Chains A and B, each alone.
Chain A
Amino acid sequence: MKLDDLPLPALHQSCLENSLQLRTGPFVTRLGTSYHGLIEQLGFFYSNHEVIQAPWVADFHVRILRPVSVRRIWRPQINFFLDAKHPFEPYALEQALPLFEWGLNWCIATHAHQFLMLHAAVLERDGHALLLPATPGSGKSTLCAALAHRGWRLLSDEFGLIRPETGDVWPLPKPIPLKNRSIEVIREAIPEAQVGPLFTGTRKGDVAHVKPPCDSTRRQQEPARPAWILFPRYQSGSPTRLQVQTPELGFVRLSRNSFNYRIMGETGFRGVLRLVQNCSIHQLIYSRLDEALRLLAQLPVPDGNGTT
Protein backbone atom coordinates (compact mmCIF):
# COMPACT_ATOMS: atom_id res chain seq x y z
CA MET A 1 0.00 0.00 0.00
CA LYS A 2 1.03 3.60 -0.56
CA LEU A 3 1.71 5.94 2.32
CA ASP A 4 -1.12 8.09 0.99
CA ASP A 5 -3.54 5.20 1.53
CA LEU A 6 -2.71 5.11 5.22
CA PRO A 7 -5.26 7.13 7.24
CA LEU A 8 -3.60 10.07 8.98
CA PRO A 9 -4.21 8.75 12.52
CA ALA A 10 -2.67 5.41 11.49
CA LEU A 11 0.38 7.19 10.04
CA HIS A 12 0.87 9.12 13.28
CA GLN A 13 0.40 5.95 15.32
CA SER A 14 2.96 4.05 13.23
CA CYS A 15 5.48 6.83 13.66
CA LEU A 16 4.89 7.00 17.40
CA GLU A 17 5.36 3.23 17.67
CA ASN A 18 8.59 3.28 15.57
CA SER A 19 6.90 0.97 13.12
CA LEU A 20 6.42 2.91 9.88
CA GLN A 21 8.11 0.71 7.25
CA LEU A 22 8.83 2.85 4.23
CA ARG A 23 10.30 1.47 1.01
CA THR A 24 12.70 3.67 -0.94
CA GLY A 25 14.02 1.71 -3.91
CA PRO A 26 15.78 -1.43 -2.66
CA PHE A 27 15.76 -0.31 0.99
CA VAL A 28 13.15 -0.49 3.71
CA THR A 29 13.46 1.96 6.57
CA ARG A 30 11.66 1.42 9.83
CA LEU A 31 10.95 4.89 11.07
CA GLY A 32 9.81 6.37 14.31
CA THR A 33 9.19 9.96 15.34
CA SER A 34 6.86 11.85 17.58
CA TYR A 35 7.40 15.17 15.81
CA HIS A 36 4.16 16.03 14.03
CA GLY A 37 5.80 18.56 11.73
CA LEU A 38 8.02 15.84 10.27
CA ILE A 39 5.15 13.38 9.93
CA GLU A 40 3.19 15.92 7.90
CA GLN A 41 6.17 16.57 5.62
CA LEU A 42 6.78 12.85 5.15
CA GLY A 43 3.11 12.54 4.26
CA PHE A 44 3.64 15.07 1.46
CA PHE A 45 6.99 13.95 0.04
CA TYR A 46 6.54 10.20 0.43
CA SER A 47 2.80 9.97 -0.32
CA ASN A 48 3.39 7.65 -3.31
CA HIS A 49 6.02 5.46 -1.66
CA GLU A 50 5.19 1.95 -0.56
CA VAL A 51 4.46 1.31 3.10
CA ILE A 52 5.03 -2.26 4.21
CA GLN A 53 2.62 -3.45 6.87
CA ALA A 54 3.70 -7.07 7.19
CA PRO A 55 6.56 -7.93 9.57
CA TRP A 56 9.77 -7.07 7.72
CA VAL A 57 13.50 -7.10 8.27
CA ALA A 58 14.19 -3.43 7.69
CA ASP A 59 17.55 -2.23 6.36
CA PHE A 60 17.64 0.76 8.69
CA HIS A 61 15.96 1.47 12.01
CA VAL A 62 15.75 5.24 12.20
CA ARG A 63 14.23 7.45 14.84
CA ILE A 64 13.98 11.23 14.70
CA LEU A 65 13.51 12.40 18.25
CA ARG A 66 13.40 15.60 20.24
CA PRO A 67 15.88 15.65 23.12
CA VAL A 68 14.74 15.20 26.69
CA SER A 69 16.38 18.39 27.92
CA VAL A 70 15.91 22.12 28.00
CA ARG A 71 16.55 22.08 24.22
CA ARG A 72 13.07 20.63 23.87
CA ILE A 73 11.68 24.10 24.53
CA TRP A 74 14.60 26.57 24.29
CA ARG A 75 15.85 26.80 20.70
CA PRO A 76 14.35 23.35 20.19
CA GLN A 77 16.43 20.68 18.52
CA ILE A 78 15.99 17.26 17.01
CA ASN A 79 18.25 14.20 16.77
CA PHE A 80 18.74 11.46 14.20
CA PHE A 81 19.17 7.96 15.59
CA LEU A 82 20.28 4.89 13.69
CA ASP A 83 19.58 2.01 16.08
CA ALA A 84 20.85 3.39 19.37
CA LYS A 85 23.50 5.67 17.86
CA HIS A 86 23.11 9.28 16.88
CA PRO A 87 25.90 9.97 14.41
CA PHE A 88 25.22 13.71 13.95
CA GLU A 89 25.03 16.79 16.08
CA PRO A 90 21.43 17.82 16.76
CA TYR A 91 19.65 19.97 14.18
CA ALA A 92 17.22 22.81 14.76
CA LEU A 93 13.74 21.32 15.16
CA GLU A 94 12.38 22.98 12.04
CA GLN A 95 15.08 21.22 9.98
CA ALA A 96 13.78 17.75 10.83
CA LEU A 97 13.07 16.83 7.20
CA PRO A 98 16.56 17.79 5.89
CA LEU A 99 17.99 15.87 8.86
CA PHE A 100 15.97 12.78 7.94
CA GLU A 101 16.99 13.05 4.28
CA TRP A 102 20.70 13.53 4.96
CA GLY A 103 20.62 10.94 7.71
CA LEU A 104 19.06 8.31 5.47
CA ASN A 105 21.60 9.12 2.74
CA TRP A 106 24.35 8.61 5.31
CA CYS A 107 22.87 5.24 6.32
CA ILE A 108 22.87 4.11 2.69
CA ALA A 109 26.33 5.45 1.86
CA THR A 110 27.91 3.78 4.88
CA HIS A 111 26.08 0.45 4.80
CA ALA A 112 24.77 -0.55 1.37
CA HIS A 113 27.92 -2.17 0.04
CA GLN A 114 25.97 -4.74 -1.92
CA PHE A 115 25.94 -1.90 -4.48
CA LEU A 116 28.73 0.04 -6.09
CA MET A 117 27.58 3.49 -5.02
CA LEU A 118 28.30 6.54 -7.13
CA HIS A 119 27.56 10.06 -5.99
CA ALA A 120 25.33 10.74 -8.94
CA ALA A 121 21.89 11.68 -10.09
CA VAL A 122 20.34 9.02 -12.32
CA LEU A 123 17.50 9.30 -14.81
CA GLU A 124 16.07 6.89 -17.33
CA ARG A 125 14.53 7.02 -20.78
CA ASP A 126 13.35 3.95 -22.72
CA GLY A 127 15.24 1.64 -20.35
CA HIS A 128 18.55 3.52 -20.77
CA ALA A 129 20.01 5.22 -17.72
CA LEU A 130 21.76 8.58 -17.70
CA LEU A 131 24.25 8.96 -14.85
CA LEU A 132 25.17 12.47 -13.71
CA PRO A 133 28.11 12.05 -11.33
CA ALA A 134 29.09 15.34 -9.81
CA THR A 135 30.61 17.29 -7.01
CA PRO A 136 28.58 19.81 -4.96
CA GLY A 137 27.89 23.03 -6.83
CA SER A 138 27.98 21.45 -10.27
CA GLY A 139 24.25 21.89 -10.88
CA LYS A 140 23.48 18.16 -10.61
CA SER A 141 20.29 18.46 -8.58
CA THR A 142 18.95 21.36 -10.65
CA LEU A 143 19.46 19.41 -13.84
CA CYS A 144 18.06 16.26 -12.25
CA ALA A 145 14.88 17.98 -11.02
CA ALA A 146 14.31 19.51 -14.44
CA LEU A 147 14.94 16.28 -16.38
CA ALA A 148 12.63 14.37 -14.01
CA HIS A 149 9.80 16.63 -15.24
CA ARG A 150 10.79 16.67 -18.91
CA GLY A 151 10.43 13.11 -20.15
CA TRP A 152 12.99 11.32 -18.01
CA ARG A 153 12.20 8.99 -15.11
CA LEU A 154 13.93 9.92 -11.89
CA LEU A 155 15.91 7.05 -10.42
CA SER A 156 17.84 9.06 -7.86
CA ASP A 157 19.24 12.49 -7.20
CA GLU A 158 22.06 11.30 -4.98
CA PHE A 159 23.00 7.66 -5.57
CA GLY A 160 23.98 5.69 -8.62
CA LEU A 161 23.32 2.24 -7.14
CA ILE A 162 25.05 -0.22 -9.45
CA ARG A 163 24.32 -3.90 -8.90
CA PRO A 164 27.72 -5.54 -9.51
CA GLU A 165 26.24 -8.85 -10.67
CA THR A 166 24.28 -7.31 -13.54
CA GLY A 167 25.65 -3.80 -14.04
CA ASP A 168 22.11 -2.42 -13.74
CA VAL A 169 21.42 0.78 -11.86
CA TRP A 170 18.71 0.67 -9.19
CA PRO A 171 16.22 3.43 -8.43
CA LEU A 172 16.19 5.26 -5.14
CA PRO A 173 13.57 7.97 -5.62
CA LYS A 174 13.68 10.44 -2.75
CA PRO A 175 12.95 14.16 -2.53
CA ILE A 176 15.47 16.20 -4.55
CA PRO A 177 17.15 18.84 -2.38
CA LEU A 178 17.58 22.12 -4.22
CA LYS A 179 19.95 24.62 -2.71
CA ASN A 180 20.01 28.39 -2.72
CA ARG A 181 19.57 29.90 -6.20
CA SER A 182 18.51 26.66 -7.84
CA ILE A 183 15.23 26.75 -5.87
CA GLU A 184 14.03 29.76 -7.83
CA VAL A 185 15.48 28.41 -11.07
CA ILE A 186 13.32 25.28 -10.80
CA ARG A 187 10.24 27.16 -9.59
CA GLU A 188 10.43 29.34 -12.70
CA ALA A 189 11.50 26.75 -15.26
CA ILE A 190 9.39 23.82 -14.03
CA PRO A 191 6.25 25.33 -12.49
CA GLU A 192 4.57 21.93 -12.15
CA ALA A 193 7.35 20.61 -9.89
CA GLN A 194 6.04 20.11 -6.36
CA VAL A 195 8.48 22.07 -4.24
CA GLY A 196 8.13 21.75 -0.47
CA PRO A 197 8.85 24.26 2.29
CA LEU A 198 12.00 26.35 2.34
CA PHE A 199 14.48 25.47 5.07
CA THR A 200 16.69 28.48 5.70
CA GLY A 201 20.13 28.53 7.30
CA THR A 202 20.88 24.81 7.05
CA ARG A 203 24.48 23.62 6.88
CA LYS A 204 24.14 23.73 3.09
CA GLY A 205 22.40 27.09 2.94
CA ASP A 206 18.74 27.44 2.01
CA VAL A 207 17.21 24.13 0.95
CA ALA A 208 13.87 23.15 -0.56
CA HIS A 209 12.96 19.68 -1.76
CA VAL A 210 11.19 18.61 -4.93
CA LYS A 211 8.76 15.73 -4.52
CA PRO A 212 9.70 12.77 -6.77
CA PRO A 213 7.23 12.42 -9.64
CA CYS A 214 4.57 9.75 -9.13
CA ASP A 215 5.76 7.53 -12.00
CA SER A 216 9.26 7.51 -10.57
CA THR A 217 8.01 6.26 -7.21
CA ARG A 218 5.61 3.75 -8.75
CA ARG A 219 8.49 2.18 -10.69
CA GLN A 220 10.98 2.32 -7.83
CA GLN A 221 11.91 -1.35 -8.17
CA GLU A 222 12.51 -1.22 -11.91
CA PRO A 223 16.24 -0.95 -12.67
CA ALA A 224 17.76 0.39 -15.88
CA ARG A 225 20.81 -0.25 -18.00
CA PRO A 226 23.48 2.48 -17.82
CA ALA A 227 23.94 4.11 -21.24
CA TRP A 228 25.32 7.60 -20.70
CA ILE A 229 27.71 9.08 -18.17
CA LEU A 230 27.57 12.85 -18.12
CA PHE A 231 29.65 14.99 -15.79
CA PRO A 232 27.64 18.22 -15.45
CA ARG A 233 29.28 21.55 -14.74
CA TYR A 234 27.29 24.70 -14.30
CA GLN A 235 29.38 27.64 -15.55
CA SER A 236 27.73 31.04 -15.49
CA GLY A 237 27.52 32.66 -18.93
CA SER A 238 29.00 29.66 -20.72
CA PRO A 239 27.49 28.33 -23.95
CA THR A 240 25.97 24.87 -23.56
CA ARG A 241 28.25 22.17 -24.89
CA LEU A 242 29.01 18.48 -24.63
CA GLN A 243 32.65 17.39 -24.56
CA VAL A 244 33.59 13.76 -25.12
CA GLN A 245 35.56 12.25 -22.24
CA THR A 246 37.93 9.34 -22.74
CA PRO A 247 37.16 6.06 -20.94
CA GLU A 248 40.33 6.39 -18.85
CA LEU A 249 39.38 9.87 -17.66
CA GLY A 250 35.85 8.61 -17.05
CA PHE A 251 37.30 5.74 -15.01
CA VAL A 252 39.35 8.06 -12.82
CA ARG A 253 36.49 10.50 -12.28
CA LEU A 254 33.94 7.77 -11.52
CA SER A 255 36.17 5.85 -9.12
CA ARG A 256 36.93 9.06 -7.23
CA ASN A 257 33.27 9.94 -7.19
CA SER A 258 32.20 6.61 -5.70
CA PHE A 259 31.23 6.32 -2.03
CA ASN A 260 32.67 2.82 -1.72
CA TYR A 261 35.03 2.12 -4.63
CA ARG A 262 37.89 1.10 -2.34
CA ILE A 263 35.67 -0.86 0.03
CA MET A 264 34.33 -2.87 -2.92
CA GLY A 265 37.86 -3.88 -3.99
CA GLU A 266 38.05 -5.81 -7.25
CA THR A 267 34.24 -5.79 -7.56
CA GLY A 268 34.33 -1.99 -7.59
CA PHE A 269 37.13 -1.99 -10.16
CA ARG A 270 35.17 -4.28 -12.47
CA GLY A 271 31.97 -2.31 -11.89
CA VAL A 272 33.51 1.02 -12.89
CA LEU A 273 35.31 -0.63 -15.79
CA ARG A 274 32.05 -2.05 -17.13
CA LEU A 275 30.43 1.38 -16.90
CA VAL A 276 33.12 3.20 -18.85
CA GLN A 277 33.37 0.41 -21.43
CA ASN A 278 29.63 0.32 -22.13
CA CYS A 279 28.52 3.94 -21.77
CA SER A 280 29.16 7.05 -23.80
CA ILE A 281 30.97 9.57 -21.60
CA HIS A 282 30.70 13.33 -21.81
CA GLN A 283 31.15 16.47 -19.82
CA LEU A 284 28.22 18.85 -20.03
CA ILE A 285 29.03 22.51 -19.50
CA TYR A 286 25.94 24.65 -19.22
CA SER A 287 24.56 27.90 -17.95
CA ARG A 288 21.03 27.74 -19.40
CA LEU A 289 18.78 24.98 -18.19
CA ASP A 290 16.50 25.03 -21.27
CA GLU A 291 19.48 24.54 -23.60
CA ALA A 292 20.84 21.69 -21.49
CA LEU A 293 17.44 19.97 -21.51
CA ARG A 294 17.18 20.31 -25.29
CA LEU A 295 20.64 18.88 -25.78
CA LEU A 296 20.03 15.92 -23.49
CA ALA A 297 16.69 15.15 -25.16
CA GLN A 298 18.67 14.44 -28.34
CA LEU A 299 21.27 12.14 -26.80
CA PRO A 300 21.71 9.19 -29.14
CA VAL A 301 21.50 5.77 -27.54
CA PRO A 302 24.94 4.13 -27.37
CA ASP A 303 25.43 0.72 -28.91
CA GLY A 304 26.65 -0.82 -25.67
CA ASN A 305 30.31 -0.34 -26.49
CA GLY A 306 30.43 3.27 -25.43
CA THR A 307 29.95 4.63 -28.94
CA THR A 308 26.86 6.32 -30.33
Chain B
Amino acid sequence: MPDRDVLWQYVPRENIVIEALDLQAAVYMRPTGETHILSTLPAEILIHLMTGEKTEQGILQAIENAHGLTSDADWRVQIHASLMQMQSLGLTTP
Protein backbone atom coordinates (compact mmCIF):
# COMPACT_ATOMS: atom_id res chain seq x y z
CA MET B 1 0.00 0.00 0.00
CA PRO B 2 1.22 3.51 -0.74
CA ASP B 3 2.53 5.31 2.33
CA ARG B 4 0.63 8.58 2.26
CA ASP B 5 2.84 10.23 4.88
CA VAL B 6 6.09 9.98 2.93
CA LEU B 7 7.26 13.34 1.66
CA TRP B 8 8.41 13.32 -1.93
CA GLN B 9 10.88 15.76 -3.39
CA TYR B 10 12.21 16.71 -6.71
CA VAL B 11 15.91 16.22 -7.45
CA PRO B 12 17.94 19.40 -6.85
CA ARG B 13 16.82 21.99 -9.35
CA GLU B 14 20.35 22.62 -10.60
CA ASN B 15 20.60 18.98 -11.64
CA ILE B 16 17.70 18.96 -14.03
CA VAL B 17 16.33 20.70 -17.12
CA ILE B 18 12.64 20.24 -17.77
CA GLU B 19 10.95 21.57 -20.89
CA ALA B 20 7.37 21.26 -22.09
CA LEU B 21 6.94 19.23 -25.25
CA ASP B 22 3.37 19.47 -26.40
CA LEU B 23 1.40 17.65 -23.65
CA GLN B 24 4.49 15.88 -22.41
CA ALA B 25 7.84 16.97 -21.00
CA ALA B 26 11.45 16.42 -21.95
CA VAL B 27 13.78 16.09 -19.01
CA TYR B 28 17.57 16.28 -19.07
CA MET B 29 19.53 15.05 -16.04
CA ARG B 30 22.78 16.98 -15.75
CA PRO B 31 24.65 14.50 -13.49
CA THR B 32 24.05 11.51 -15.77
CA GLY B 33 23.36 13.03 -19.19
CA GLU B 34 20.19 10.94 -19.40
CA THR B 35 17.13 12.23 -21.24
CA HIS B 36 13.59 11.20 -20.37
CA ILE B 37 10.30 11.96 -22.04
CA LEU B 38 7.57 12.12 -19.42
CA SER B 39 3.90 11.71 -20.12
CA THR B 40 1.37 14.19 -18.75
CA LEU B 41 0.90 12.93 -15.20
CA PRO B 42 4.57 12.47 -14.21
CA ALA B 43 5.36 15.83 -15.80
CA GLU B 44 2.61 17.46 -13.77
CA ILE B 45 3.81 15.78 -10.58
CA LEU B 46 7.32 17.12 -11.18
CA ILE B 47 5.99 20.62 -11.71
CA HIS B 48 4.11 20.49 -8.40
CA LEU B 49 7.13 19.12 -6.57
CA MET B 50 9.14 22.08 -7.86
CA THR B 51 7.18 24.28 -5.42
CA GLY B 52 8.25 22.13 -2.49
CA GLU B 53 8.19 18.60 -1.09
CA LYS B 54 4.77 16.96 -0.81
CA THR B 55 3.10 13.77 0.28
CA GLU B 56 1.12 11.77 -2.25
CA GLN B 57 -2.01 13.33 -0.78
CA GLY B 58 -0.44 16.77 -1.19
CA ILE B 59 0.37 16.07 -4.81
CA LEU B 60 -3.16 14.87 -5.42
CA GLN B 61 -4.55 17.98 -3.80
CA ALA B 62 -2.30 20.22 -5.91
CA ILE B 63 -3.46 18.55 -9.12
CA GLU B 64 -7.11 18.80 -8.06
CA ASN B 65 -6.67 22.49 -7.31
CA ALA B 66 -4.81 23.20 -10.54
CA HIS B 67 -7.45 21.65 -12.73
CA GLY B 68 -10.64 21.93 -10.68
CA LEU B 69 -11.00 18.15 -10.65
CA THR B 70 -12.25 15.66 -8.13
CA SER B 71 -9.98 12.67 -7.88
CA ASP B 72 -10.75 9.07 -7.07
CA ALA B 73 -8.81 6.07 -5.79
CA ASP B 74 -7.45 5.29 -9.23
CA TRP B 75 -5.68 8.68 -9.30
CA ARG B 76 -3.86 7.88 -6.06
CA VAL B 77 -2.65 4.60 -7.52
CA GLN B 78 -1.45 6.32 -10.69
CA ILE B 79 0.34 9.04 -8.74
CA HIS B 80 2.05 6.44 -6.59
CA ALA B 81 3.08 4.45 -9.67
CA SER B 82 4.45 7.59 -11.34
CA LEU B 83 6.43 8.53 -8.24
CA MET B 84 7.92 5.05 -8.07
CA GLN B 85 8.84 5.13 -11.73
CA MET B 86 10.41 8.57 -11.42
CA GLN B 87 12.29 7.42 -8.34
CA SER B 88 13.81 4.60 -10.38
CA LEU B 89 14.91 7.19 -12.94
CA GLY B 90 16.45 9.39 -10.26
CA LEU B 91 13.93 12.19 -10.75
CA THR B 92 12.25 12.06 -7.34
CA THR B 93 13.25 10.90 -3.90
CA PRO B 94 11.09 10.08 -0.87
Interface residues of A, Cβ cutoff 8 Å to B: 246-248, 251-252, 255, 262, 265-266, 269-270, 273, 276-277
Contact check, B22 vs A273: say whether CB atoms are below 8 A apart: no
Contact check, B37 vs A265: say whether CB atoms are below 8 A apart: no
Measured in the bound complex, the distance between the Cα atoms of B22 and A72 in whole Å is: 59
Within 8 A of A (CB), among B13-44: 17, 19, 21-22, 24, 26, 28, 30, 33, 35, 37
Distance in angstroms from A113 CB to nearest chain B CB is 14
Contact check, A248 vs B28: say whether CB atoms are below 8 A apart: no
Closest B residue to A265 by CB, please name it. Answer: B33
CB neighbours of B21 from chain A (8 A)? 247-248, 251, 273, 276-277
Contact check, A251 vs B26: say whether CB atoms are below 8 A apart: yes
Measured in the bound complex, the distance between the Cα atoms of B21 and A273 in whole Å is: 8
Contact check, B19 vs A273: say whether CB atoms are below 8 A apart: yes
Distance in angstroms from A234 CB to nearest chain B CB is 27
Measured in the bound complex, the distance between the Cα atoms of B28 and A255 in whole Å is: 12
A-B contact count (CB 8 A): 28
Contact check, B22 vs A269: say whether CB atoms are below 8 A apart: no
Contact check, A246 vs B35: say whether CB atoms are below 8 A apart: no
Contact check, A273 vs B33: say whether CB atoms are below 8 A apart: no
CB neighbours of A270 from chain B (8 A)? 17
20 pairs, A vs B, C-beta closer than 8 Å? A246-B22, A247-B21, A248-B21, A248-B22, A248-B26, A248-B37, A251-B21, A251-B26, A255-B35, A262-B33, A266-B30, A269-B17, A269-B26, A269-B28, A269-B35, A270-B17, A273-B19, A273-B21, A273-B26, A276-B21
Contact check, B28 vs A251: say whether CB atoms are below 8 A apart: no
In which size bucket is the chain B interface? 10 to 19
CB neighbours of A273 from chain B (8 A)? 19, 21, 26
Measured in the bound complex, the distance between the Cα atoms of B37 and A248 in whole Å is: 7
Within 8 A of A (CB), among B27-72: 28, 30, 33, 35, 37
CB neighbours of B26 from chain A (8 A)? 248, 251, 269, 273
Closest A residue to B37 by CB, please name it. Answer: A248
Distance in angstroms from A177 CB to nearest chain B CB is 31
**Sample of 7 more A-B contacts, CB < 8 Å, known A247-B22, A270-B17:** A248-B22, A251-B21, A251-B37, A265-B33, A269-B26, A273-B19, A273-B26
Closest A residue to B34 by CB, please name it. Answer: A262
CB neighbours of A269 from chain B (8 A)? 17, 26, 28, 35
CB neighbours of B17 from chain A (8 A)? 266, 269-270
Measured in the bound complex, the distance between the Cα atoms of B36 and A248 in whole Å is: 10
Distance in angstroms from A241 CB to nearest chain B CB is 22
Measured in the bound complex, the distance between the Cα atoms of B15 and A122 in whole Å is: 34
CB neighbours of A246 from chain B (8 A)? 22
Measured in the bound complex, the distance between the Cα atoms of B23 and A248 in whole Å is: 9
Given contacts A248-B21, A273-B21, are A266 and B28 in contact (CB under 8 A)?
yes
Contact check, B37 vs A252: say whether CB atoms are below 8 A apart: yes
CB neighbours of B33 from chain A (8 A)? 262, 265
CB neighbours of B35 from chain A (8 A)? 255, 269
